[in-house]
Structure 1
Amino acid sequence: MAAPGQEEDQNQDAIGGKKVISRTFLSLSQITALSEQNVEGVQKKLEEFLNFKQLKTSLKEAVLLDYYAAGFWWAKEMNFSLTQLSGFMDLLNFLLENLSDKHVTLGENLKELGRAMAGIGETESERSGDLNFFSIEQAKAVIDYLTDSFFRHYKLYEYLFHSPREKLVISNKYAIELAQPAVPPFPALLEEGIPSDIYSSFIISPTAAEAESKGSDQEGYLEEPCPEAESSEADAMAGVTAEDQKSAVGEIPNGIIGNLEADINEKLQRQEEACTFRTEN
């Protein structure tokens, strides 16, 4: 969490017995904005200031937001001034960075807390600490709060920052590519396994099939007896005698046989011509 170069400056300050907390976590304007909010508003503002974008899926961001929001609200209820609120938030961030970035143990972090709060209640000429704007009573309250909220759950914070966790797949996105519609004479995807003769006869020409079905419907319609047609036929047959019927029946076979003979002779002639053509080739 610390910026490059700041960690080295902090170590040098600690060795020299000077400031332990050397940077500001939140600006005074941000602290002022937070002090004007309720609990929900503090969480929203901290989410914005800390640039948290994955609160619904990131356990780390959710824990950090709760850590800072709960600390700020406790300090606000203690009626800390803006300067004290800023210093307290710096202290919260400093202790958490020791654990997350430097992997400081619990005992070492307690020592860092003691050094940061050194000099409280003493005159500035004797000893100057990072949090000397707190009174002794306020410093004790801060230590009690940190003991109950942060140091008591130190192992959980260590697990959060330094233990690998299995990544859960919450959702998957799949891209489905649809096939282009079939364009004759190429069959559709589900018709590729059909033999070509069946496809060409029954699938490729739906118009012909429709025409055939319409023709069969018309034939069935013609085969059905019509009462009006039967009555008209009866009226027409009323004036025909028995001799007329015999003569008509005698003429029908001759006409049919003559037509059949002509068709057969024509077909035989075509076959002979085809055989002769093949033989010559």
Structure 2
Amino acid sequence: MGLQFQDRTSESSQDPYPQCHEAKICMWKYLDVHSMDLINKAQTTDELKRVLAELFQLQGWESDPRAAILLDLYFYTVQFSREHRFSQEQSSAFFTIVKDTHEACVETPLPNVEECYRYFTELLFCHTIQRPPFSIDLFTQEQLALISDYVVNTYFRHFKLYKYAFTPQIRLDLSLSYVGMPEPEPVAELAGELGESVTAPVPPVQEEGADSGTTAPSESPRAPLREYISAQLCQEMAQLIVVEEQLRASKEQFNTKLALLEKVPNSSKGGGRGHRK
């Protein structure tokens, strides 16, 4: 018997395995000075979402669930920067940290929350410690704590939901092939492709009015396998029946002994009193 595995994934250029990312200074990576000026000019929620949708090609967010999720992620990231009065450099760097963390999350359908969290913390430290050219002190210690709490309580708390929404689904098809046995004809697949109903032919033995003088059809190569499985099932059923009968007999014996033990003390006490009289 041979085993054939087929791993089918949706067509995507994503690497199926978690990658190791190197944290670098990422100020002005996605939002440059001009983009930050456009964001700062947006005063209402609709204006800010419109600017973000134009910057990151998310115009179809009203009908596309993935685009809507990304737009919400970007929108609340900008809102957090506004609430804590981040400068343009800080807002751009914080936005990049969130976006790069999200891209590391959805690059693979396999679990990689530990890798993403480590990458997120390394990105934070790249913008907290003055050690050029590897890191800069863009955020203070208080801002570092605020950013860490915000991302953990919003993004990493819903990590599996983001992965479910943005990563392709893996489906494993398992097919068994037996050595020396012919491959089954794909009748059902042909029927589905042609859109027609295909009726399996009735075996000659089951046909009504079959001539008694005709020779019996050749035995199917799968008949021995069916017989073996049926024999094993019958054997297991017989053993279950025997075990059930044994349990029933043991229960009856236990009940009989228990009844005798309940009667013995009463009879002995009565006998003793009569003897003393």
TM-score by length of 2: 0.49
Structure with higher helix content: 1
TM-score by length of 1: 0.48
Structure with higher strand content: 2
Of structures 1 and 2, the one with the larger relative CO (CA 8 A, separation 6+) is 2
